[in-house]
Amino acid sequence: MKGKTAKISLLLIILLAAVSLRLKGLTFQSLWLDELINLHNSSPAVSLGQTIRFCREVEHTPPLFYILIWVWQRILGAGEFSARLLPALFGVLGVGGIYCLGRELFSEKTGLIASAVTALLPFHIMYSQEVRPYSLLFLTVVLSYLFLVRLLSRPVWKNALCYWLFTVLLLYTHYFGLFVFAAQLFFIAVFLGAAGTNRNALLKKMLPALLLIALACLPWLPTLLRMVQIDAFWIKPPAPRFFIGFFRQYIGSEPYLFAVFVFLLIGYLLSGENREGFAESRLLLASWIFITLFIPYFRSFNHPPILIVRYSTAVLPVIILMAARGLTLLPDAKFRYFLLGTVILLLLVNLFYTRGGYYRTVTKPQWREAAEYIILNDPEGEYPVCAQPSFNYYFDIIFGRPREVVWEITNLSEARTWHRRTAEEMIPAFWLLEVKPIAFDPEIWDFFDRRFQRVQSVELRGAKAVLYSADRPE
């Protein structure tokens, strides 16, 4: 009983740490482009139908996260803190979820180590503090596999229903859920073909679950087919050694951490059969990571690339679970505690000290500060703002100071069009806002500087705001 109480207490400490680290500095970084697009198109000012239509016709993305953030803002109100609180909550639930999966696959000790690493992992914390679907992707993929393992081990309707539910949620969270589902189908087929499997009992539960997953996804199939036909995308082709770069971003920049995780992964892969937990865990994890990553990798050879590190959040649990299991398999207890202690210490160093510290170093474009500068220097909103339409979320929703966001300029042709419009409509002055990752070509600034008079400007990290007067420079 004492041992069980100690484990529960340790899990609670890990979850409290996860909560603290995900709430700390939640609004330190400004919302950036993708977050603003999410919020602008799921704000209380738009209907749920408009949000879903945006996902279907503009973003071509599964709508679950957009729907949840729309509902969330209706309940808690709009704003940076309330919006980021939802993915932070998913991040904390992901820490608890990977504990359950580690315990189901291997042992309670593995689950606790996996949850502790996830709680402190800067990569997971960062994406738990973005209004994007990646913390939800981590959570749903973990829960989908958790109930898949339970269903295969104990084929009862409760496990079949939960597997169906969380797999559907996964597929409606991110398109990489499709690759995860393909890995699951592969593993299910191999598992059913293995000798000794109680096929009949399992098929009676598994087949209805798989059929219901397919039926639940039919409404989004036309959008998926349109997505497949896209012939150009902004993502660059992945290098042959892409996984090493991904792995470094998962773990952090400390060479020692990289070496320890590689050591633990190799130790797990070279270990014998799993004598506790789920017997087929090795094949399950191997198929999960290989199929999920290498289908999009090989697809990029003759299609637009779709493989980037944040999408691969769908396989991050595999790395954590393998490393945690590798640690528990080390025979020397003192060495295990030493490695775990140094890993925890260096994860904290990565968070609080490396490159100035995650919570003290501005890494995202300062769109909030650019909006504040415009409001401070144009309090009555006399002049229109040339900016990305989603910037209205800052002006209208967060600061409650509406501005006329009239024209997004991304190329020289649009700059010339706006120049003609200022003359035709006798616009005396306007704000030009450049916000990365969409950066202007230098000739656009040269064009405006030759035709208008700069009145004032500010340059921030990833953002630049200039007030131009229609009075021509002498």
Taking only the tens place, the pLDDT of each residue in 254-286 is 899 999 999 999 999 998 767 788 989 999 999
Say which residue, 407 or 247, is predicted with more confidence: 247
Give residue 232's pLDDT band: very low, low, confident or very high (50, 70, 90).
low
| Contact between residue 468 and residue 453 where contact means Cβ atoms under 8 Å apart | yes
Mean residue pLDDT across the chain: 92
Alpha-carbon Rg for the chain in angstroms: 25
Taking only the tens place, the pLDDT of each residue in 218-227 is 999 998 888 8
**pLDDT score of 455 more than 60:** yes
Taking only the tens place, the pLDDT of each residue in 294-333 is 999 998 888 888 899 999 999 999 999 999 999 999 999 9
Q: Which residues pair with 385 in a beta bridge?
A: 405, 431
DSSP state of 400: -
Taking only the tens place, the pLDDT of each residue in 109-160 is 999 999 999 999 999 999 999 999 999 999 999 999 999 999 999 999 999 9
Give residue 215's pLDDT band: very low, low, confident or very high (50, 70, 90).
very high
Sole residue written with tokens 């996964």: 170
Taking only the tens place, the pLDDT of each residue in 395-417 is 998 999 999 898 778 888 999 99
Q: Return the half-sphere exposure (C-beta side, CA atoms, 13 A cut-off) of residue 232.
A: 0
Lowest mean pLDDT among 44-53, 372-381, 402-411, 444-453: 402-411
What pLDDT score does 276 carry? Answer: 80
Domain range summary for the chain, segments of one domain joined by +: 2-30+79-356, 367-469
- Residue range 245-262: average pLDDT? 91
Taking only the tens place, the pLDDT of each residue in 380-393 is 999 999 998 888 89
**pLDDT score of 473 more than 60:** no
d(CA 436, CA 301): 29
Q: Report the 3 state secondary structure along the chain.
A: CHHHHHHHHHHHHHHHHHHHHHHCCCCCCCCCHHHHHHHHCCCCCCCHHHHHHHHHHHHCCCCHHHHHHHHHHHHHCCCHHHHHHHHHHHHHHHHHHHHHHHHHHCCHHHHHHHHHHHHHCHHHHHHHCCCCCHHHHHHHHHHHHHHHHHHHHCCCHHHHHHHHHHHHHHHCCCCHHHHHHHHHHHHHHHHHHCCCCCHHHHHHHHHHHHHHHHHHHHHHHHHHHHHHCCCCCCCCCCCCCHHHHHHHHHHCCCHHHHHHHHHHHHHHHCCCCCCCCCCCHHHHHHHHHHHHHHHHHHHCCCCCCCCCCCHHHHHHHHHHHHHHHHHHCCCCHHHHHHHHHHHHHHHHHHHHCHHHCCCCCCCCCCHHHHHHHHHHHCCCCCCCEECCHHHHHHHHHHCCCCCCECCCCCCHHHHHHHHHHHHHCCCCEEEEEEECCCCCCHHHHHHHHHHCEEEEEEEECCEEEEEEECCCCC
Question: Of all helices (H) and strands (E), which one includes residue 250?
Answer: helix 242-251
Give residue 2's pLDDT band: very low, low, confident or very high (50, 70, 90).
low
Give residue 195's pLDDT band: very low, low, confident or very high (50, 70, 90).
low
What pLDDT score does 259 carry? Answer: 94
Highest mean predicted confidence (pLDDT) among 30-39, 91-100, 393-402: 91-100
**pLDDT score of 88 more than 90:** yes
**pLDDT score of 1 more than 60:** no
- Give the whole-number percent of the chain exceeding pLDDT 90: 72
- Residue range 14-32: average pLDDT? 96
Lowest mean pLDDT among 44-48, 65-69, 440-444: 440-444
- Residue range 17-36: average pLDDT? 94
Give residue 247's pLDDT band: very low, low, confident or very high (50, 70, 90).
very high
What pLDDT score does 408 carry? Answer: 77
Q: Which residues pair with 255 in a beta bridge?
A: none
- Give the whole-number percent of the chain exceeding pLDDT 70: 97
Q: Which residues pair with 386 in a beta bridge?
A: 432
d(CA 240, CA 298): 10
**pLDDT score of 253 more than 80:** no
Sole residue written with tokens 């291997």: 106
Angle between helices 199-217 and 176-193 (to 10 degrees): 160
